């Protein structure tokens, strides 16, 4: 029994070409585009990424945390209370994403500061994110795992570092990633 495969081949070719045109369009677009699998994990992300994440960092990650941070930002509720709750529930990825959004820094920068256990870096990120100096101590201890003796303490509710020093730290952090 013979079967004419022409139509099937033509359909496959058209589908491949259509998908390639879509990818080409997404690559030149400034919008964030993505595709997820049935588990809610990113399988395609536009080259520019989103929320401080590079595209490669999002692949195989669940879209849920990203969506939650975006929703909190859109609702105007992405602030110290929300970040505190993320930290309390142990959601490190969402905490890092939230700090990236609030500070305007890349996620890679956050990870560098955290992995280096930089008290000055974490304090500077907290300051840039508009978080209190007291909460900066919590982030230093519970997110960056900085030893209690090395934490930069808030003095009278103020950051111990001068604004210029924190700006310098932020410039240094940006150069690292």
| pLDDT score of 169 | 93
Q: Which helix (H) or strand (E) holds 34?
A: strand 34-36
Provide the angle, in degrees to the nearest 10, between the axes of the packed helices 163-176 and 107-115: 100
Gap between the Cα atoms of 112 and 83, Å rounded: 19
Are 121 and 103 a contacting pair, CB within 8 Å? no
Backbone dihedral region of 53: left (phi > 0), alpha (psi from -120 to 50 degrees) or beta? beta
| pLDDT score of 118 | 94
Gap between the Cα atoms of 96 and 52, Å rounded: 10
Report pLDDT digits (tens) over 64-93. Answer: 777 788 889 989 999 999 999 999 999 888
| pLDDT score of 26 | 65
Q: pLDDT per position in the chain (177 positions), as tens?
A: 556 678 888 888 888 888 888 777 767 666 777 788 887 788 888 887 776 677 887 787 777 777 788 889 989 999 999 999 999 999 888 898 899 889 988 877 888 899 999 999 999 999 999 999 999 999 999 999 999 999 999 988 899 999 999 999 999 988 776
| pLDDT score of 101 | 87
Q: Structure pTM? A: 0.70
Are 29 and 21 a contacting pair, CB within 8 Å? no
Q: Which of 63, 66, 83, 62 is nearest to 130 (CA)?
A: 83
Helix (H/G/I), strand (E/B), else coil: 36:
strand
Task: Provide the token pair at 48.
Answer: 């520019």
Q: Which of 177, 84, 67, 91 is nearest to 129 (CA)?
A: 84
Enumerate the domain spans of the chain: 6-176
Buried b (16+ CB within 10 A) or exposed e, 61-77: bebebbebbbebbeeee
| pLDDT score of 110 | 84
């Amino acid at each position: 029994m013979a079967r004419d495969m022409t139509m099937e081949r033509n359909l496959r070719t058209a589908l491949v070409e259509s998908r390639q045109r879509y990818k080409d369009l997404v690559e030149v677009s400034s919008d964030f585009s993505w595709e997820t699998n049935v588990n809610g994990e990113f399988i395609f992300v536009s080259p520019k990424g989103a929320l401080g994440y590079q595209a490669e960092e999002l692949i195989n990650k669940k879209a849920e945390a990203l969506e939650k941070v975006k929703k909190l930002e859109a609702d105007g509720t992405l602030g110290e209370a929300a970040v505190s709750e993320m930290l309390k529930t142990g959601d490190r990825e969402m905490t890092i994403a939230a700090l990236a959004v609030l500070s305007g820094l890349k996620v890679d920068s956050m990870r560098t500061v955290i992995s280096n256990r930089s008290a000055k870096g974490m304090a500077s990120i907290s300051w840039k994110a508009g978080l209190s100096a007291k909460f900066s101590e919590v982030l230093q201890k519970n997110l960056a795992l900085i030893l209690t003796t090395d934490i930069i303490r808030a003095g009278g509710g103020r950051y111990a570092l001068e604004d210029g020093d924190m700006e310098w730290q932020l410039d240094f952090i940006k150069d690292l990633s």
